[in-house]
Each structure stands twice: as structure tokens, then as C-alpha cells.
Amino acid sequence: MNRLKTIMLLSTLTALLLWAGQAIGGKEGVWLALFVAAAMNIGAYWFAHKIVLRMHHAKEISHHESPELYAMVHSLAQRANLPMPKVYLIPEQAPNAFATGRNPEHGVVAVTEGLLRVLDRREVAAVIAHELGHIKNRDTLIMAIAATFAGALSMLANAALWSSMFGGGRPSEEEEGGGPLAGLLGVLLAPLAATLVQMSISRAREFMADEAAARYSGAPLALVSALRKIEAWSREIPIHSGSPATAHLYIHNPFSAEGVSRLFSTHPPTAERVARLEAMAFGRAYAA
């Protein structure tokens, strides 16, 4: 169901792009924005993991520096049929973790010092299994595709806004079925809708990684207790490095907000994740 949801959401982003491009700039606007956004996101796909690790002051650790953690990652990677990812330690006291890397052959698992301090061994293993699930499911690639479409929509909206400010416009608006109202709606609504869809894709991928973690670790209830601890501690100890732009990488959003901002959350509510994992643990169907 989560894979189907991801496909449907990506299709929605495609439809939004086509609609907004037709309304704002015609076919030429669609292709130009898509080309530029794709170029930007391809660059991010190849180099973003290095930038993110540097932003968080993460340090690669070897088997000799942390034999227990390294052995745990190696064992879980074998269960997931993945190459051994690089292991990084983040100098943050808030318990959290993320995965990055452009494909499974270049996977990276990064954990905070706080995660190793607050969680017990089974909980740490469940969190690492979740991150390996992201690597296995190629979530970095999926989110790069989603970002490409969302970026193209934002660029179309910005171009239309500047064009309207300086009196520009398409000479063939009436012939192509567009108009000022359609263009205005595209400027206002398309980027917002694209952001919401992008966040929905991220939330769907979190459910898939939770399911993978339950399989690889064999302990869905360990991930339940880990998520509860991480959520509780995140209210007490914030992440100081990084930025909200990296929130989707973490197992739990360290920059979460309340109220309307939840619409733009990169993660599903912890309570819903817990309910799904408990249903898996006790062999019952999850009732959405």
C-alpha cells in the first residue's frame, strides 16, 4: 500500500507540474523549469550526502573505534542483503539517526552520541535497521525525484510572479486555454500543493522503513520503545547542527512543529507508527 501510495503521489506531482506549466508558461515553461530543477537535483543526489554529513560534523568511525556498533551494522546489513554501509557518529546529545548515500553501494548510516547513550542495544539495532530500510528502498532516489518536480513547480511560480510584476505575459494565452486567473492560481497553489505531496511521499517512505526495520531486526516492539524515547528526548534536547531542510533524513523529525505546521511534517505521527508496529508484532491487521 505504501509503494502504491508513493506511485500515486508522484503521479500527482507530475499532473501538478503539467497543469501549472500550461497555466503559467505553456509547454516551453514546463520543459525549461523541469530541465533546470532536474540538473539541480542531480547535483544534490551526487553530493548531498557529503554536504549533510559535514553540516552535522559527523565523523566516520571504523571497526577498531567502535567494534560493537560496527558489528551491529554489519550483521543487520547482511540480513538486509546490503553492502556494508559507512558508519558515522554525530556529536549531538539528542538521540536520533539518519541514512544517506545515493545508492546502496554508497550507503551511510549516521547515529548521534545521544542515541547510543539513551537507547539500549535492542533499540539501537532497531533504529539502525530502520535506516538500512531507507537504503534498501532507495528512498534518497525517490525523494530526489519528488524534489525535482516540486522544484520545477516553484521555479514556474517564481517566473510567473516576476513576469506579472514587470508586465510580462504569454502572447498566446487565449489560444492555449490559459489566462490571468489560471496563472495566478498556479502561482499561489501549485508550489503549496507540491510541498504537501512531497511531504506525503516522505511520510509513506517512513512507514516502509519501519516495516523493513521490523523484519531485519525481528523486534518491532524494540523500534516502538526507541521511537517513544526519541520523541520524548527530542522535546528536551534539540539538535543543534543541520537545518529543517534535513529533517526528512532523520528517524524522527528533530525540528518538528505544532499546529498547522504538521501539514508540512516529513514524518507521520509517532502514535500511528507505533500502532502499525504493534499490529505487526502481534500479528494483526492495522486499522487506519
Q: Which residues are catalytic?
A: 131
C-beta separation of 136 from 216 below 8 A? no
Q: For residue 93, give Cα distances in angstroms to 66, 115, 224.
A: 17, 8, 20
Cα 14 to the chain's mean position, in Å?
Answer: 18
39 pairs with which residues across the strands? Answer: none
Q: How far apart are CA 261 and CA 140, in angstroms?
A: 23
Strands (E), 205-245: none
Burial 212-239 (b: 16+ CB within 10 A, else e): bbbebbebbbbbbbbbbbbbebbeebeb
Q: How far apart are CA 239 and CA 110, in angstroms?
A: 14
CA-based nearest residue to 88, from 73, 104, 103: 73
Per DSSP, the residues of 243-275 read -GGGGGGBSS-TT---GGGGGG-SS--HHHHHH
Q: How far apart are CA 6 and CA 38, in angstroms?
A: 19
C-beta separation of 6 from 204 below 8 A? yes
Q: Is the dihedral of CA 74, 78, 84, 87 positive or negative?
A: negative
Compute φ and ψ for 233, nearest 5 degrees.
-70, -30
